[in-house]
Amino acid sequence: MARSSVLLCVAAAAAVQALNKRQSFNQSIPPTITLNGSTIENPTAYATPFVLNVEDMWDLLVGPVASAVTTTTVQATPVPSSSLIPPPPLYYSPFPSGAQYPMEVKNESWSFPKDFWWGVAGAAWQVEGAVKADGRGPSVWDVLAHRVTDFEYGNGTADITDNHYYLYKEDIARIAALGVKAYSFSISWSRIMPFGRGPVNQLAIDHYNDVINTCLEYNVIPMATLYHWDTPLALQDTYGGWLSENIVNDFVAYAKVCYAAFGDRVDHWFTVNEPSVFCSQYPLPAMYFKNFTIPNIQQPFYCGQHVLLAHSQAYRLGKSMMANSTIAWKANGGYKIPLTNSSEDAEAVQRAWDFTEGWWSDPIYLTGDYNAAVKAFVSTFLRPFTAGEKAAILGSADIYAHDAYTYVTPLRSLAKEPPRASASVPSATLSELD
């Protein structure tokens, strides 16, 4: 589906704005405007529905993108024999045998428990590159990187990054050669569904099928994350992405496509990665996406509410479709330590837990609803969950997954470091600091 035959309807006025690099879909067109005291009717022709295909979305809303030299995949990517060296032992003694007894006893700490899943992780947008290849639709990140000055360090984009979309066979061979047991990758929603909903892109299904098959060929356990922050642009511009409850059905429909396509070989699934990061990115920068009237401070919590609904429904669906699946969401954060022994600081630490890990962990693992601190805040503007929703949320994870970050350097100086996009480095580190 290099050029999609299914089109997205928008208002003509939006396309005009897009051409002016101030894009926004389907803005409501006021029926009249007042000029110099006179009421003037808007010509109805100005609001005639207008269609954009995937190519138009890139051209109008993102702009030119770079492409890598390597542009073949699935069939043709060779695995160099130099990638296929046997894994090294996990421990090399740096000392002559018997000479340094104290080092020898430290051996014990170099092995994992037998059933420990030891792995590496990648995030689609951060490692794949090939952003326009094979019918992929843009995500919000393509706009943020291409259009928003200095949003990424040095105005960097993900147009090429690690070129993993083309080099995955080599990457997976090397993962295996290192002795790594699991590869946790994320699936690009807007590759599978270029508009976030509607038509499914078979070339994307083929691609991830081969990623999974290559993992299995090398005895690397494939683990899939459905969403690692790369909201399809069309959904952001149609209804505000995670700000709207509309995303719940669209996310579950996308999850269903992935489970149906890959669930015969992938048992380990993560629905959403680190919602406290991507929800805290709302509001997105003004001028680049459809505007919303939700107050800025509330936007992350609208997102959080829809994450709980989308995650829990996608979890229930996945369990019904895949008998042996392990499904969870992925939390992130870091240990919180009181500055002093005062009771105020103890309360502050608890509040920090409540508004980070606890924002989703309390509903999912303990109660089906927000903890008291979050509830007190959100109940003034979010609707309460229904009894059925609470029942679906409670217990909607088979494991507790957590990306733990511990900072020893003052945040300001860390934030100046360049971003690192790599299949082996936890991806949230910098964005969390922003």
Ligand X SMILES: *[C@@H]1O[C@H](CO)[C@@H](O)[C@H](O)[C@H]1NC(C)=O
Site residues (CB under 6 A) for ligand X? 9, 24, 26-28, 36, 89, 91, 104-105, 107, 149-150, 154-155, 238, 286-287, 291, 323-324, 340-341
Q: Nearest distance from residue 351's CB to ligand X, in Å?
A: 19
Distance of alpha carbon 154 from alpha carbon 139, whole angstroms: 20
Q: Nearest distance from residue 325's CB to ligand X, in Å?
A: 9
Q: Which helix (H) or strand (E) is 374 found in, with range?
A: helix 372-378
Note every long-range contact of 75-83, with CB atoms under 8 Å and residues 24 or more positions apart, other chains counting: 77/166, 77/167, 77/168, 77/169, 77/170, 78/169, 79/169, 79/170, 79/173, 80/170, 83/170, 83/173, 83/174, 83/177
With contact defined as beta carbons under 8 Å apart, do 232 and 189 qualify?
yes
Amino acid at 411: L
Which of 199, 426 has the CB closer to ligand X?
Answer: 199
> Hey, what are 148's tokens?
């928003």
Q: Nearest distance from residue 153's CB to ligand X, in Å?
A: 7
With contact defined as beta carbons under 8 Å apart, do 77 and 170 qualify?
yes
Distance of alpha carbon 356 from alpha carbon 363, whole angstroms: 12
Amino acid at 68: A
With contact defined as beta carbons under 8 Å apart, do 345 and 292 qualify?
no
Which of 80, 88 has the CB closer to ligand X?
Answer: 88
Which of 48, 107 has the CB closer to ligand X?
Answer: 107
Amino acid at 146: H
Q: Nearest distance from residue 287's CB to ligand X, in Å?
A: 5
Which of 66, 376 has the CB closer to ligand X?
Answer: 66
Which of 33, 76 has the CB closer to ligand X?
Answer: 33
3-state SS record for 44-103: HHHHCEEEECHHHHHHHHHCCCCCCCCCCCCCCCCCCHHHHCCCCCCCCCCCCCCCCHHH
Distance of alpha carbon 209 from alpha carbon 258, whole angstroms: 10
Q: Nearest distance from residue 235's CB to ligand X, in Å?
A: 11
- Number of neighbours of residue 45 by Cβ within 10 angstroms: 7
Q: Nearest distance from residue 72's CB to ligand X, in Å?
A: 32
3-state SS record for 188-241: CHHHHCCCCCCCCCHHHHHHHHHHHHHHHHCCCEEEEEEECCCCEHHHHHHHCH
Which of 91, 400 has the CB closer to ligand X?
Answer: 91
Q: Nearest distance from residue 375's CB to ligand X, in Å?
A: 30
Torsion of CA 246, 250, 253, 254, to 10 degrees: -160
Which of 149, 343 has the CB closer to ligand X?
Answer: 149
Which of 239, 301 has the CB closer to ligand X?
Answer: 239
Distance of alpha carbon 366 from alpha carbon 354, whole angstroms: 13
Q: Nearest distance from residue 16's CB to ligand X, in Å?
A: 11
Which of 246, 367 has the CB closer to ligand X?
Answer: 246
> Hey, what are 274's tokens?
């680190």
Which of 76, 286 has the CB closer to ligand X?
Answer: 286
Q: Nearest distance from residue 59's CB to ligand X, in Å?
A: 19
Which of 236, 273 has the CB closer to ligand X?
Answer: 236
332: left (phi > 0), else alpha (psi -120 to 50), else beta? beta
> Hey, what are 132's tokens?
């326009």
Q: Nearest distance from residue 319's CB to ligand X, in Å?
A: 12
Q: Nearest distance from residue 242's CB to ligand X, in Å?
A: 17
